[in-house]
Amino acid sequence: MKLRLDIAAIWLVLLTAPFWLPLVHGYEALGTRVLVLGLAAMSLNFLLGFTGVLSFGHAAYFGLGAYGAGLTLKLLAPSTPLAIVLGMLLGTVAGAALGALIARRRGVYFAMVTIAFGQVFYFIAFRWNALTGGDDGLRGFSRQPIDLGFFTLDILNKLTAFYYFVLACFALALGIMAFLLRSPFGRTLLAIRENERRARFLGIPVEQHIWLSFVIRSTPCSTTSPIPRGCTTPSPATSSSWRCSAACDRSGDRCSAPPSSSSCRIICRASRRTGSR
pTM, entire model: 0.76
Domain count, the chain: 1
- Would residue 104 count as lying in a domain? yes
Q: Which of 86, 228, 240 is nearest to 167 (CA)?
A: 228
CATH number for position 40:
1.10.3470
The mean pLDDT of 214-241, rounded to a whole number, is 64
Summarised one tens digit per residue, pLDDT across range 141-161 is 888 888 877 888 888 888 888
Which amino acid makes up residue 49? G
- Would residue 20 count as lying in a domain? no
- Would residue 9 count as lying in a domain? no
Determine whether 134 is exposed, middle or buried from the number of CB atoms within 10 Å of its CB (0-12, 13-18, 19+).
middle
Query: 245 versus 211: which is more confidently predicted?
Result: 211
Q: Which of 94, 83, 100 is nearest to 210 (CA)?
A: 100
- Would residue 22 count as lying in a domain? no
- Would residue 17 count as lying in a domain? no
Using the 8-state DSSP alphabet, how is residue 78 labeled? S
Which domain covers residue 260, as residue numbers? Answer: 29-275
Range with the lowest mean pLDDT among 164-168, 179-183, 245-249? 245-249
- Would residue 14 count as lying in a domain? no
- Would residue 35 count as lying in a domain? yes
Largest interatomic CA distance in the chain: 57
- Would residue 82 count as lying in a domain? yes
Query: 2 versus 179: which is more confidently predicted?
Result: 179
Range with the lowest mean pLDDT among 189-193, 210-214, 217-221, 265-269? 265-269
Do residues 213 and 75 lie in contact, with contact meaning Cβ atoms separated by under 8 Å?
Answer: no
Give the chain's mean pLDDT: 79
Q: Which of 121, 168, 138 is nearest to 231 (CA)?
A: 138
pLDDT confidence tier of residue 269, bands split at 50, 70 and 90: very low
Q: How many residues does the chain have?
A: 277
